[in-house]
Amino acid sequence: MSPVIAVQQVPTVNRHFRFQWEPAQQAYVLLYPEGMVKLNGGAGEILACVDGQRDVAAIIATLQAKFPEAEGIEQDIHEFLGEAHDQHWIQFGSDQ
């Protein structure tokens, strides 16, 4: 079940995963010992903002500025971060 994500929370990529651009896949991926998760464009853009410094509000603001035509992006970001948390791809301070 996805947590309620507050805009002041700062997500980080779980240390068991490595987030990177994969030229062979032409996509962002999450690498882990047992394999790889290929991310779609939106998911990759969101995770590219997860740097352990920016809170959720800053991630939303960054992506709204980058994609001004994308209506409803705030809800999409919240939903993806919840799913990424459920999949253990990201953590919040309270998880660590």
What are the CB-based long-range contacts (under 8 Å, 24+) for 47-51? Answer: 47/13, 47/19, 47/84, 47/89, 47/90, 48/19, 50/11, 50/12, 50/13, 50/19, 50/90, 51/12
pTM above 0.85, yes or no: yes
Average pLDDT over residues 46-52: 97
| The pLDDT of residue 1 | 55
Q: Is the pLDDT of residue 95 over 70?
A: no
Task: Please name each of the domains of the chain with its CATH number.
Answer: 12-90 (1.10.10.1150)
